[in-house]
Structure 1
Amino acid sequence: MAKDYAVYARISTDKDEQISSIENQIDICRNWLERSGYEWDDNCIYKDEGISGTLFLERPAIQLILEKARKKEINMVVFKSISRLARDLKDSLEIREVLQGHHVRIISVEEGYDSEKAGKNDMAFELWSLFAAQYSRTLSAGVSAALAAKVRRGEHIGKTPYGYDKEDGKLLINPDEAKTISQIFEWYNQGWGYKRIVKELNSMGISPKSARVWQITSIHRIIHNPLYCGDFVMNQYSNVKIGGHKKQVRNPEEQWIIFRNHHPEIVDRATWEKANNKVEKAERTKITPWNEFRGLAKCAVCGSNMVIVQSWKKKKDGSRSSWQYLKCSQYRRAAQDGCVNHAPIRYGEFRALIINQLQQEGKDLHLNFSSDFEKRRSEDLAVLQKQLQQQKTKKSGLLDLYLEQLIEKNEFEEKRREIDHAINNLEDRIYLLENQHSAESSIRSAKEAFKALDNQEQDLYTAFRNLIKQIVICENGTVDLDLTFR
């Protein structure tokens, strides 16, 4: 039979036992295919390794399969079980809808499910998908219960915090680090701000546990962490799924599980409560400004994101005026110990400069968009195809070395896995480049983005992302703009 099928396998962690299980998944699918009269082809395997089944948009292999289904390049998808396809009911049903909408047969070997035999009233798939989703929730609840049991026994879960060492699962005070913690609380209760504390610690040469220098965020976490007065808090955060991605949200305090006097305290409860009963001016007045260049504007010195900071001035009539500046995020967190202080760059002036430069680039762009994208796509394809051929040649040479007994079997297997991974990655990138729809979408987005620049009063975040790869800002304020359509 023809080999226009796809075999899908997924593992959610990189543990050794799960790495071996992906081979088991493939073997099970291969056995079904060969028994059903299909010719086996290693190139039909699609793997998502170390990715949770609840994260639909972050699984490149399943996305590639769906794209091939839309392009009529496959007519069947085979996988070990529906739990390998997805552990989220909505995602599982969405995948089925796309595949069946393009007349792609679905085979789940373990459940004995075959969409061709299921017919229109397909409750079996929905039930198996529901069981898979429930298993994920049950597993999560079981893990949470096991962790809570460890905490009740006095054990610490998670990273060892600054100020403590961990022995037999329990926290013990680190005398030197504990002095620093006590000093931080003392300074803060005396009226010192986060930035002043950061500067003092860095100037004293005191190092944090797992970073190069102290930052404002690390001091803020220490001050507000009840761990330092002996309490351990569970269930402060939950993971929710938004638009196919997981996001961590803070739970209401009534949902927290607090274990009082769980471990030795570094500061007494009165000191901790005094620090946390302060009304912080920043919390009363701070409104995070909207940054249309977030993720695009980078510091030329350290590569960190440029963020917005605000400066306020109170007028005689009681009103306030404000200015927004771009600053390196590392400098903002750790001052000169983090990075350099860039020349003042007002956000409004910077935005106007970028818009003006983009509009000028648009006027000077004489090449036809379609031919320009096609040329770049062809060049990229040629480079990837050359790299793919090099990897295949390396694989062939590796086999010769093994057959001539110039390398051991373990070394041969390890290097072959590395080469196979590189080949799969290159083949996926080549496929996506060969998909004309992607290029047409990029062209359309660029044209719409140029048109959006004419109305500067609106939010231009999407337009900037479609036209700009990266903006690098130097210490002296000069700007290097890397554009997507160049």
Structure 2
Amino acid sequence: MRKITKIEASRPDPFSVPKMRVAAYCRVSTDSDEQLESLQAQKSHYVNYIKANSEWEYVGIYYDEGISGTKKENRQGLQRMMSDCENKKIDLIVTKSISRFARNTTDCLEMVRRLIELGVFIYFEKENINTKSMESELMLSVLSSLAESESISISENNKWAIQKRFQNGTFTISYPPYGYENIDGKMVINHEQAKIVKYIFSEALAGKGTQKIADDLNNKRIPSKRRAGWTATTIRGILKNEKYTGDVILQKTYTDSKFNRHINNGEKNKYFIQNHHEPIISHKEFETVARVIEQRAKEKGIEQRNSKYQNRYPFTSKIICSECGSTFKRRIHSSGKRKYVAWCCTKHLEDISECSMKFIRDEDIKMAFVTMINKLIFGKDFILKPLLEGLRLMSKSDNISKIEALEKEIDDNTSQKELLVKLMAKGYLEPALYNREKNELLMKKEMLTEQRDALIDDLNSELSKGQEVNNLIKYVNKAGSLKEFDDEAFDNHVEEIIVFSRQEIGFVLKSGITLRERM
């Protein structure tokens, strides 16, 4: 009898096709039970969907729950997925729709372009778009613009409803401060936490600083509201929160059209409600602590919300971490007996495992800015002037001609619709055919209008950038070689600073260009 022994292959088959590594991305915008159930359903669907394809290898599910889709920096699941794409762990991403992936057109296109550069493609189920087979970004741009418009519309509707509740006093504080709980829509005292609030106020009255109070609470292992440890900022927020007196000021912050949150310094109406809930701290004690804080600030030379204070730190809120997207905050560091100003990533300060970006020195940033400006002064003829000319040519020829062509198509569409109405009125068309043709014309007009409006926005943006370049040229023409940091020049011409590493930063100019400098 023949004996057969199988000899296992020692090398991979050169003709075999490796499986495509596929991941899915899901997101729900609130943390309600219904939304979380939807998230579970999405995750289950994609596990089965990916594993059912024999040519795909299931990599995993990335998701964000209770997170708005308007800004990519707010979504940890998305950031983790992008990181894995950078590390060559994913070939294809499957997601429900463009609005689930991003409701900000800029973010959407930026991420899609970055992923294509990495050789990673996205399949949007609802729109049936695969970025691998896209010949143009136009459709994706239009659809993501619609998603952004939808998000803005929802946001405006929510703002209107909230404003009404502000005005009639029925607004519910869904996330009460430390010391309170939300029970049946009402703020009710949490007595264990209330003891800590009273301790914080008594220590402040005794003259202790906010950092010392935070250190004491951390040493006693008393958990904060988010259980992330106490900080000076947390303590200061409690000491300045009027809710502990039983009163409420509504709309202390607001969100602009780009979904950025700002402190309301009078731009929007505020609403003051007295005796809204049971107090933990008396008005007298609260006002005394406010005076103590004010006195300590004066001793340090800090006068909040005046022009001197606001111009004191030109880099505040303008330094962005390239690793995690967080802003940098100002701190005082020591090297032996010498103290110096440094800027640190807030995410790194909170949790070093979430961001590895280390601090950069204030003096190094200022020196990098001086170097960058001096390069522009000496190189304006081959940097700024060609850029300005390019922007002028782009705005004059390309976009304007495209807008004019779209306007003509919109006019033709209107004429076709009028002809269609006349034919229907004379009985030459069946109602079903009339409705079908009319709907097709309406859809085409909507798409043409969106394209035209997008080009107009681009044109306005280019004109604005051109003006910023022109302003910068005027500045460098007048300026001699810069010897030291110029606050006014920085504020006039720089939008933000991106920190790529401790050795390299990028100045994002208001003209739209980013200039990198070594430090």
> When the two structures are superposed, what TM-score results if normalisation uses the length of structure 1?
0.45
